[in-house]
Chain A
């Protein structure tokens, strides 16, 4: 086996290791150069299975390349670069190293040609993303990290059982399109969907991501859910159940974000909303829909990271993240504000932003497949995105009211990372051709038709009108909204406690009754062995001995005849 290329994921993994042990200046160089080197490695790989070998006796294909895989690996690596630029001056070394290894996991999954390789990188991501959550450094992030890890361990276990089942029943570990037709494949699908933050396990995402550091949540937003989307594209294209799962996620994200007060949790809910669009597209399953899902993932990673960078700078500068505490920051944070607004316009798929040139593809795919209901739901959801993220986030953080806060704008490296991503959001909106060129072009539709542009302008601007007319109904309160995780965080916990209390009570009462029986017996014996007692009126020592002999002999005779 001769290496004619560098395995891209390994470059990032080695860089992660070196970054942790290097001196500060060398670390910066490693952190910023490794993603660029990886990008070069990704684009020097030819299509097809590039590397195959055996692992524990199983044939595996650690690197398989296709346009869609290359596309995901590319955006993961660009994300790693911008994320490192954003965080290298403020984040802990452990966080930077873990984030780099986490990115390596995402790139590894992108090129995994078989299910074993996929599983290994999948678990790597779970481990290192948990460390990134823990690097938030607070008690809340410690607890959230444990809940996060449990969820991803569950995902890994389901995936593993499913993979083993598929191997036993088909003898193949290839990553190929399948449908959820039997238990094995259902388990694989469930494992992937947990990582996509699909119901009923959506809550791990808004629970954990906002507890990470201002820099950590930028990395977290990019990798886990989008590798899940890639896995769905590769394994379950056209699996119809995904349409409904996706639509649920789309509206779940909107409704919960509308009720939320924490700016970073609003953005976390909107990740689920956006991933919902992609999951729906995979469910639609036509080539155009799959291209739409992949393109949208590419654009999404960039504008979502941009939004979290913007929220991260605010948190970094003010220590605050609740809408009720923030407001009016546009005065002193123009760069952060403008970059945040560009990200918000892109997520709302405003014409001339990357969201428009990618998400429209999904809607057109629904149209072409004559999925009328799905199309209406996607249109309503597009309006909702503008409502919950497009306006709500910038409005409550940067405008709304004058909170009296006058924080400084972003440090230079954070500003540079934001401007880079804001540039990409606009550039890919104005000139999406390089993005389209990464995928088979036969199934890309032109999106800049006048009536289409006008459709989205009307849809979005009138959503904006609704926002400002209904502003009184959206006053932020110091509340959270219960989610299905209430079942295991409160209901099961309380039920467990109740069972425990019941057992304790039963044990205590049993102890009491047994003790009282014993006490009564002892009192009886005491009475009998009294000087005045029935049996032992004689001197106690001899009398007691006689009693024991008598009892033993009785027992002996009893046992003898029992035979």
Chain B
């Protein structure tokens, strides 16, 4: 599985997928993919149906991103109240 390292620096000895330069490339590739999915909406038109917010340009992108932010912080907030050590019920 692991490819033979060509260099001998410590980072280069790790799996190619986790080397910093690969990760940088993945980020760049992903950002391009994100931009393309938004740009393509110019050609396909909106999938909106309700004549409301859902017909805005790039609505799914914005809505998806914002709902995830809301859910992560919502969960974080609930966590403050409801989190306990994982041996809570074992005692």
Contact = CB atoms under 8 A, between A and B. Distances in A.
A474 B68 CA distance: 12
Contacts of A262: 86
Nearest to A481: B82
B91 to A, nearest CB: 11
B71 interface: yes
B17 to A, nearest CB: 7
Interface stretch (A216-224, A459-467, A508-516): A459-467
Interface stretch (A122-130, A413-421, A447-455): A447-455
B84 A479 contact: yes
B21 interface: no
Contacts of B74: 255
A462 B89 contact: no
Given A330-B17, A332-B1, A470-B69, A460 B64 contact: yes
B63 to A, nearest CB: 6
B68 A384 contact: yes
Contacts of B69: 466, 470
**Majority DSSP secondary structure for residues of B touching A:** helix
Given A331-B2, A465-B34, A477 B63 contact: no
A490 to B, nearest CB: 8
B85 interface: yes
A387 B66 CA distance: 12
Contact of A466 (B41, B64, B86): B64
Given A383-B67, A455-B47, A459-B63, A470 B37 contact: no
Contacts of A456: 60
Nearest to A464: B30
B44 A466 contact: no
B23 to A, nearest CB: 10
A550 to B, nearest CB: 64
B12 interface: no
B44 A459 contact: no
A489 B82 CA distance: 15
B50 A258 contact: no
Contacts, number: 150
Contacts of B86: 261-262, 478-480
B83 to A, nearest CB: 4
Contacts of B46: 451
B3 to A, nearest CB: 11
A372 B52 contact: yes
A52 interface: no
A254 interface: yes
A458 B83 contact: no
Interface in A244-291: 251, 254-255, 258-259, 261-262
A451 B47 contact: yes
B28 interface: no
A481 B37 contact: no
B12 to A, nearest CB: 15
Contacts of A470: 68-69, 72
A402 B88 CA distance: 28
B73 to A, nearest CB: 7
A258 B47 contact: no
Interface string B70-83: 11111110110011
Given A402-B18, A479-B83, 5 more contacts: A330-B17, A384-B68, A461-B30, A481-B83, A482-B88
Interface of B: 1-2, 14-15, 17-18, 30, 33-34, 37-38, 40-41, 43-47, 49-50, 52, 54, 58, 60-65, 67-76, 78-79, 82-86, 88-90
